[in-house]
Structure 1
C-alpha cells in the first residue's frame, strides 16, 4: 500500500510538471565501486553525469546532496540495502522523480568497468542500461559517461528523436542518394532480356543442295 501511494504521488508530480512545462525530474543515486576508485572520485563521476544530462535539455537533476537532504534516515538505511529495481523505484517515488539513475564503476588494472541503468519509477522498468569495459585511462571513462548521458536523453527523454548532429548526417545521406538511379543486377537484367526475346522453335538449317559431280571411271582397254 505504501509503495502504491508513493508511485501515485510520483505520477501526479510528473503529469503536473509536463502540463506546467516544468523540467523533467531525474535523480542520480550515489555510484558504487567494487574496487580501484575512491569515494571522492565516485562523487565526481556522478556529478559529471548529472551536469552532462542537465546540459542536454530541460531537466532537474537531483544529486547526492539533494538526496541526502530529502530522504530521511530510515529511507537512507533502505537505500544501503537496495538490491532490486522495486526498492530503487520506491526511493525515486520518495524523491518525487520520474527517472532514477543507478550505477557502479570499478577499476581493475587498467580497465574500467561501468554499469549504468535508468529506471522508470512509475513502471518499475529499466528503460535504458549499459555495461561497458573501458581502456585508455580516465579520459576514456569521461567520454563514456558523456556518451551515456547522450544516450539517456536520446532514447528516453526525447523518445527516439535524433539529435541535431544525427539529423544532419541523415540529410547528407539522403542528398547523396537523391536523383540517382538504381541499376538492375546483371542477372536480373539478363533474365528480363531472355523473357522479352521470342522463344526459338528449334529450326535446324541444312546446307544448300550441291550439283552432282560427274564421275569418270578410267579403266584399261580390253585386248582382243
Structure 2
C-alpha cells in the first residue's frame, strides 16, 4: 500500500471517535393533542439521556437538520420503506436511528421510541409508555427509564477493535462520514393543468403514467401507484401510432437498453436487450389511480462526476448535484470495490485546468489537458491515480463499485439492473 494511503487512513482512524456506536436521534413526531414545540422539548430531554451512555456517539436532531436540510429531513422522517430507512442511515453515516411519537388522547400521554439498525432495517428495541392523568413533568420523568430500556440491547455493544496489522499497512476505513443524501422526493408542479396521462402496469405493482409522444412534449412517471417519479427522457422517436422514449438509466450497458414506448397499441418496457409487454389500464381505472397518486420530480439528484483508481485497487469516486448549474456540491467516496466509504468534501476548485477536492484527509487533484492526470495528496506525499472516464464506466460506478449500495435511483429499471 502506498505511503500516502497509509497516512490517509491513519488520519481517518485518529479523527474518528474510538469504537463507539453511531446513533442519530430524530425529533419525536407530534401526534394528536401535542404541539411540535412540546415534542421537540421532550426530544431534547431524551437526547440528554442518550448522551450519558459512554458507548454511543450521538448525532442530534439539530445535526440531522444541518446535514440534510429542513425539506429533506421532513421527507426522510416521513418514509417507512426499508430502502428509505437504509438511505437515511447512509445519508447520516450512522448504524442506528432512534425515533418515535408523542401524543395525548384524553387524559393519557402516549410515548413510543423505536431503535432501528439501519443496515438490516431491523427493529432492535421499542419502548412504550401510557401515562394516565399525568403532566408533562411525568413524561419527562419517563425518559430516563425508557432510554435505559432501549439501549440495554446487547446488539448495541460497541464493536471489538480491529487488530493492528503487523505489516505496517492499516486497513481501509470501516465507516463512512455523514454526507447529504443523493435523492429527494419533491412533488411535481405542472404550473397549470396536469396533462392527460395514460397508465400501464406490469401486473406486479409497478405503474407507468405517460403522455404519448407529441410535438408539445413528452412525460413518463413510474412508481408503485401511490408515488410516481418522473423519468428523465433523453431521447424520443415516433412512427405512426407507435413511439419510444429513452430515459436516464446509468446502469444500462447502452442507452437503447433503457426505454419505454407503445408499439402497435401495446405499452412495453425495455431494461436490457428484451422489451417486456405491459397492460394498458382503462380510462376510468387510470383516473382512479391518478386521483390518489402523488407525482414527483426525478428522485435521483446527483450524477457521477469523476472516477480514478490507484495501482492497488482503491477507487476515488466523485459525484455532483445536478442543480444548480456550476454548483460545488460534491461528494467523495474512497475504498475498494464494494467497500466504498464517504469522505466529506469541504471545498472544491473547478476551472479550465482541472479540479481539486479538499477533505480533512487530503486533497484529490484532477488535471485536464492532452492527457488527464489524477493524484491524491496528503502533505508532501502524492499517490498517482489512473483516470477512468465516467461516461464509459457509468454502469460500474452506479452498480458494482458500491458507492450507492442499497440506494434506489427511482428509474423504471430499478430492481432489474
1:152 to 150, 153, 178: 150
Partner of 1:181: none
How far did 1:57 drift? 1.7
1:37 to 34, 47, 51: 34
1:24 and 2:13 aligned = no
Q: How does 1:77-116 map to 2 (within 5 A)?
A: 77-116=74-113
Q: CA RMSD in A?
A: 2.5
Partner of 2:130: 133
Partner of 1:204: none
| TM-score, with length taken from structure 1 | 0.56
Q: Is the 8 A contact 1:75 1:91 kept in 2?
A: no
Change in 2 beyond 3 A, CA 1:26/1:111 = same
Distance in 2 (alpha carbons) for counterparts of 1:73 and 1:54 = 23
How far did 1:143 drift? 2.5
Structure 2 unaligned residues grouped into runs of 5+? 1-12, 159-417
| TM-score, with length taken from structure 2 | 0.32
Q: How does 1:178-193 map to 2 (within 5 A)?
A: none
Q: Is the 8 A contact 1:115 1:132 kept in 2?
A: yes
Distance in 2 (alpha carbons) for counterparts of 1:20 and 1:31 = 27
Change in 2 beyond 3 A, CA 1:20/1:30 = closer
SS at the partner of 2:144?
helix
How far did 1:20 drift? 6.3
Q: Is the 8 A contact 1:110 1:137 kept in 2?
A: no
Q: Which has the higher contact order (CA 8 A, sep 6+)?
A: 1
Change in 2 beyond 3 A, CA 1:65/1:116 = same
SS at the partner of 1:37?
coil
How far did 1:58 drift? 3.1
Question: Which one has the largest radius of gyration?
Answer: 1
SS at the partner of 1:146?
helix
Q: Is the 8 A contact 2:102 2:111 kept in 1?
A: yes
Structure 1 unaligned residues grouped into runs of 5+? 1-15, 160-224
- In terms of fraction of residues, the more helix-rich structure is 1
Q: Segments of 4+ in structure 1 off by > 6 A?
A: none
